[in-house]
Structure 1
Amino acid sequence: MSDLQVVLGEMQPWTDSTDHRPALAALLADALPSERRTLIVGPHSRPLISAVLDRAADTTVLVRSVSDAEELAAEFGDRLQVVAGALDGLQAEPFQVVVAADGLDRVLGYDSGDLSWTERLQTLTALAAPDAVVVLALQNEFSLLNLLDSRPADQRHGDDEWRPLHDDPTRPVSVDQFASALPWTAQLYADFGSRAFVAAEVAAAARPGELPTRLAVDALDAADVPVLSPIADGVDSAARAGLLSAIPTGWIAICGMHAEHDLYAQTGPSVLTADKTPTGWQTSITGGTSPADGLLFDPPVVPAKVPDGTSVESALIRLAAAEDVPAFRKLAARLGEWAADSPVVLRWDDVVIDGESFAHGVSPWVTEEPTDSADLLAAAWYRFHDRLIGQHRRHPWPPWMVGDDLVSTWMSMSGIELPEPVQATSPDTPPASAGHVARGKELAAALAGVLETREHAAADVRTALADAERARQELFELRGHVFGLERTLGFRNKAMKTRENRIRELRTQLQKVTADHNRIRGSRTYALSRVVFHAAQIRKPRVVARKVARRVRKR
């Protein structure tokens, strides 16, 4: 175990927790030089510290938490010099590499001076050599995730996240102010939820549906923050205005060195890197095949070159909002022909329009077992259904045509004619869906689970309000339907009562008539009438008289 040094500003009991960020580790691996005397300022994840430690010659880490410092000293031993205290309490010779990837918000303690952001930067600059490589992060107050956060200000940070207030007038609040405030020439990256890092100039040039925008949406959707409205709408609006670099969760500056790639993004268990070219993106992905929920993460299926175009989902949503069904049908038919030999689980938000054809994006998820192309096509349409109908976007189809019916319609547009559904055997049993649609629904659900996006989390407030309004409308309609049924049942009940009274009256009359009939049949008059009746039927009186005389004589 290495010696633990304590300087002014240490905090105990205290801990600053930080999650591992593979995309940031990949960025630092490209940006940091090797065999340099290095200082790590602020809380960082253990894997990130280990990655920096493997490249540096002599590494010192400064954390304000004494308990965190003790754990680091016990874990890394003599390889790491651990200092517990505040930034303004550290006195040391200038370092050749300074890493402050957590920013300057969690570097001061209770005993530290009330330093502004500029004064903290000056203190950090004093610890860096003139030719040092400095990595510095800054949280963005104007981030889209911060603006859409539905929690009030007093609930966004707990007691274990002591941070200074961001009302400091010297604190940069834009990417240009951040670059101007630094004493070094810097390469800036937009940080989207610590899962995607895009070069600032590339992010500023990105438009809706393009690769940086799609990765920014996925990264922000994975953040565990309750939001007021869908993230994708805000990101697309910012990209349409050329402001994608203005709304990330933060920025990270690399000074004195230059990172190799324009884009670093966490995708599944691996990290995707991409470089902008005149015709598209040159991509590379690390990691091996990894199974998850019936799917496989298979990096080799990601194409080395991805066209620089918009996604199919953006085009479909635009056509649906414009109610241009013929153009939607035409595009769906082209997708059905193209998707016949797809090697991956299709996602229209990751399929790129490439001229008159299409191209796969950077999604590496495939099925474990061989799957019919119609099932993959159904999975893509079901995912599109959840993102179109679930977010209450405009479309030309009737509101009651949702679920399997709407997906089946889109499948038929793509050239897949599904069999008629089997009817239910009882009123409580729903009709069985076609096989392709049912399998596509399973694949879409499995894909949504492994992507770690907000699709499986709680809905945003706007969507929840729209769902509540739709439920309220359905409740009003159902109440009207129930009222109509109750009124009909009331009329039928009255009719049945009238019929019952009439039946009782007829039954009483029948009893009276039956009693009168029985009384008549028992009278002598009725008996005499019957004799007369039978006598009138005699056609040969002489024969009858002889027979009667014969019986009389016998008696």
Structure 2
Amino acid sequence: MSKRASGDPAPSELQVVRGEMQPWTDHTTARPALAALLTDVVPANRRTLILGPHAPQQIESVLAHSADVTILVRSVADAQQLGEDFGPCLQVIAGALDGLQGEPYDVIIATDGLDRVLGYDSADLSWTERLAALSHLAAPDAVVVLAVENEFSLLNLLDSRPADERHGDDEWRPLHDDPTRPVSVDQLKAALPWRAEVYADFASRTFIRADVAAASRPGELPTRLAVAALESDDAPLLSPAAEGVDSAARAGLLGSIPTGWLAIAGAGATHDVYAQTAQAVLTADQNLTGWDTTSTIGPAAAPSSAPDGPLSFDPSVVPTTVPSGVSVETVLFRLAAAEDVPAFRKLAADLGEWVTDSRVIVRWDDIVFDGESFAYGVSPWVAQERVEKDDLLAAAWVRFHDRLLGQHRRHPWPPWMLGDDLVSAWLGMSGIEPPEQLQATSPDTVAATAQQVARGKDLAAALDVVLETRAGTVDVRTTLAAAEEAQQELFELKGHVYGLERTLGFRNKAMKTRENRIRELRGQLQKLTTAHDRIRGSRTYAVSRVIFHAAQVRKPKTVARKLARRIRKR
């Protein structure tokens, strides 16, 4: 069921109950994975109530199953807009939860939770009291879908903002610090008056069945999808979320740290995992050997926000069966932390033999390793044309390099080797011949290693764009580490400057000493020159020169006879 188009019947009359708010608006965001889950959960042709603000995608998912749908929102402006968008297909009521009276509903959808269901003049109801009010509106065998925000979520614990600055002025949330709100799966199940199946909600992008999440370990498919969902959130964090997710998964607590939970009561069987992947929604069900996966593209999926570029979305490359195992990236991280370079080199060599020319972009965080063989994961991103093996490996190692350093993980390689040189070394481990080192002919000459990984860098950057990797938001720990590194570098530079100043001072003193010595020598030379000129101009010097020349004559008698002849002739 789509929105009302021009020419459709006029919207139904807006109903107003106690607790409406005006002027006010509650913002919503599209959640394709949640819309796909509702498509599987909502039964057909049942009297349905949508409680609280919901995005059009979620409303359309409900309308596709039932013609008798009512939505309750506290904002009059939002109610009027919904009436215009959906027309008579949707009965819109403006008001608060405690002001709604009527016959019980067969289906109640409250995927926005119970935070934004009361108005200005409503009673100050706790979460438990709001749940009781909701249960009064549900039939005995009703299907109820209820979301709960997790105050113990990893993103909430790592959020660098003060608690009073985490919600904007447009989100009136009076339930902060409510002691009756459940903060675990067990507390949520105990608080509900119905027997419910609980899904862990990771940033509204990935929904994982709670028991499946609890059994997932680092590097496995549910954990990888949870990490990808949390890394796409733009909240400023104290430290990278990936490390916390891996630690929680290792302790079996992945289902305890999501941003929220989704409780489903009275519904039939659903998939184990719902995950948003660009234009599609990935669903996965666990089997004895791995996962059965399906990628669905439809109106419930959000259009891709990625600009046209070198990569495209192709769900057909996602295998229908993904084996169980951990990601190659997880194994590489462990080997790097243990400084087991021989095992790291062997795994890199095996990867080099496994990768071939293909359109599918290779990512070590999505390649599954079961201890003996490799298999593609659920990444649907492909290049426009076939990419050579060398460039695919370069892109994979460049991405691994960025994630290794970006998450501040331990590794055995020295600082002066980081960057293109380290990526080139990993490529050499994978069987790619190192580039020939040529002598630079100008300052602008590009290094051979940079030329080798240039194409891989472009592919890795394009992959970061389509994956919505947070490039502009830096966590506090990274900032502190960068500041400490800059401080250390500044200290070293200060020492270097001091050494240069000291050296220049010594050289300056030596130059002054030499200058004084040169001046002394010039003065002595000037005195000697003056004395020399005075001696050469004296009569004594002239007589001595005559005597000197006369002394040079070898046969003085012969010279005397010649002089006598000349005198006689005259």
State the TM-score bracket (shorter-chain normalisation).
over 0.9
Counterpart of 1:522 in structure 2 is: 537
CA apart distance, 1:372: 2.2
Q: Is the 8 A contact 1:291 1:297 kept in 2?
A: no
Greater shift in the superposed pair: 178-187 or 76-85: 178-187
Counterpart of 1:492 in structure 2 is: 507
Counterpart Cα distance in 2 of 1:550 and 1:458 = 115
Counterpart of 1:171 in structure 2 is: 181
Q: Does 1:132 align with 2:142?
A: yes
Q: Which one of 11, 22, 42 corresponds to residue 21 of structure 2? A: 11
SS at the partner of 1:55?
coil
Q: TM-score, normalised by structure 2?
A: 0.92
Counterpart of 2:207 in structure 1 is: 197
Counterpart of 1:348 in structure 2 is: 364
The one-letter amino acid paired with 1:375 is D
Q: Does 1:24 align with 2:34?
A: yes
Greater shift in the superposed pair: 418-427 or 92-101: 418-427
The one-letter amino acid paired with 2:193 is P
Counterpart Cα distance in 2 of 1:339 and 1:257 = 43
CA apart distance, 1:259: 4.3
Greater shift in the superposed pair: 131-140 or 531-540: 531-540
SS at the partner of 1:538?
coil
Q: Which one of 349, 365, 387 corresponds to residue 333 of structure 1? A: 349
Counterpart Cα distance in 1 of 2:38 and 2:164 = 34
The one-letter amino acid paired with 2:550 is A
Give the percent of matched residue pairs that are identical in Structure 1 and Structure 2: 72
CA displacement 1:91-118 (0-9 Å, x = unmatched): 2222222111111111111222222322
CA displacement 1:445-486 (0-9 Å, x = unmatched): 2222221133x0322112211121111111111111111111
CA apart distance, 1:530: 2.4
Query: Relative to structure 1, is the Cα distance of residues 448 and 421 closer, same or farther in structure 2, using a 3 angstrom cutoff?
Result: farther
The one-letter amino acid paired with 2:31 is R
Counterpart Cα distance in 1 of 2:297 and 2:526 = 95
Q: Which one of 475, 491, 495 corresponds to residue 476 of structure 1? A: 491
Query: Relative to structure 1, is the Cα distance of residues 113 and 525 closer, same or farther in structure 2, using a 3 angstrom cutoff?
Result: same
CA displacement 1:120-168 (0-9 Å, x = unmatched): 2222222222232221111111111111111111111122211122444
Query: Relative to structure 1, is the Cα distance of residues 508 and 523 closer, same or farther in structure 2, using a 3 angstrom cutoff?
Result: same
Q: Does 1:379 align with 2:395?
A: yes
SS at the partner of 1:253?
strand
Query: Relative to structure 1, is the Cα distance of residues 353 and 536 closer, same or farther in structure 2, using a 3 angstrom cutoff?
Result: same
SS at the partner of 1:98?
strand
Counterpart Cα distance in 2 of 1:276 and 1:84 = 42
Query: Relative to structure 1, is the Cα distance of residues 259 and 436 closer, same or farther in structure 2, using a 3 angstrom cutoff?
Result: farther
The one-letter amino acid paired with 1:475 is L
CA apart distance, 1:274: 0.9
| Structure 2: gaps of 5 or more residues | 1-10, 299-303
CA apart distance, 1:44: 0.5
SS at the partner of 2:262?
strand
Counterpart of 1:358 in structure 2 is: 374
SS at the partner of 2:485?
helix
Q: Is the 8 A contact 1:16 1:161 kept in 2?
A: yes
Q: Which one of 280, 287, 302 corresponds to residue 270 of structure 1? A: 280
CA apart distance, 1:29: 0.9
Query: Relative to structure 1, is the Cα distance of residues 517 and 445 closer, same or farther in structure 2, using a 3 angstrom cutoff?
Result: same
SS at the partner of 2:119?
coil
Counterpart Cα distance in 2 of 1:81 and 1:422 = 74
Counterpart of 1:464 in structure 2 is: 479
Counterpart of 1:445 in structure 2 is: 461
Greater shift in the superposed pair: 408-417 or 145-154: 408-417
Q: Is the 8 A contact 2:435 2:452 kept in 1?
A: no
| Structure 1: gaps of 5 or more residues | none
Q: Does 1:396 align with 2:412?
A: yes
Q: Does 1:250 align with 2:260?
A: yes
CA apart distance, 1:260: 3.0
Q: Which one of 160, 163, 183 corresponds to residue 153 of structure 1? A: 163
Q: Does 1:532 align with 2:547?
A: yes
Superposed counterparts of 1:45-124, under 5 Å: 45-124=55-134
Q: TM-score, normalised by structure 1?
A: 0.95
CA apart distance, 1:177: 1.9
Query: Relative to structure 1, is the Cα distance of residues 365 and 291 closer, same or farther in structure 2, using a 3 angstrom cutoff?
Result: farther
Counterpart Cα distance in 2 of 1:423 and 1:9 = 77
How big is the alpha-carbon RMSD for the aligned residues of Structure 1 and Structure 2? 2.1
CA apart distance, 1:2: 2.0
Q: Does 1:405 align with 2:415?
A: no
CA apart distance, 1:512: 1.7
Greater shift in the superposed pair: 19-28 or 387-396: 387-396
Q: Is the 8 A contact 2:357 2:388 kept in 1?
A: no
CA apart distance, 1:425: 5.3
The one-letter amino acid paired with 1:95 is Y
